[in-house]
Amino acid sequence: MKFVSTAILSTFLFLFTACSFFQASNTGQGTTYQFGKMEGFLKSSLSRVHNATGRALKDLELLTTSAKKDALFSMYEAKNAKDETISVKIEKIGSDSVKVYIKVGLIGDQMYSQAIFDAIKKHL
C-alpha cells in the first residue's frame, strides 16, 4: 500500500512539474513560448526577414552552419558558445507577413530565443 501511494504521489509531482515546463507563455513581445519553441509573427516579407535573421545571428556572434531559402520557407541553423544548435524557421503566411519559429538546444531557452527574435526585429 505504501508503494502504491508513493508511486501515485511521484506521478502527480512529475506531471505537475512537466506541465509547468511545457505550458505556453506569452512573453508580451508578440511571441508565444511553448514546448521549448518560440513562435512569433512579423509583418514583413520572407526575403527581408531571412536577411534580417542572417544579420541578427551575426550580431549575436552565433556561428551559422546552414542557411536555406525558397519562395515560401526559410531556415537558419547556428551554434552558440555552449555548442547548442539553434534553429530559426521562417514561414510565409501572406504577402507581407511571416511566422518565425526559434528553438535553442534540445529543450529550448526562452530568454535566448527572445533575444534572437528581438535582434531579427531590430534589423527589419
- Which region holds residue 110: left if phi is over 0, alpha if psi is between -120 and 50, else beta? alpha
Tens-place pLDDT, residues 70-101: 999 999 999 999 999 999 999 999 989 999 99
The Cα–Cα gap between 7 and 68 comes to 48
Give me the residue spans of the domains in the chain: 25-122
Tens-place pLDDT, residues 21-45: 444 455 445 789 999 999 999 999 9
Counts of helices then strands in the chain (DSSP H, E): 3, 7
Cell triple for 40: 512569433
pTM, two decimals, is: 0.77
CATH superfamily for domain 25-122: Kinase associated domain 1, KA1 (3.30.310.80)
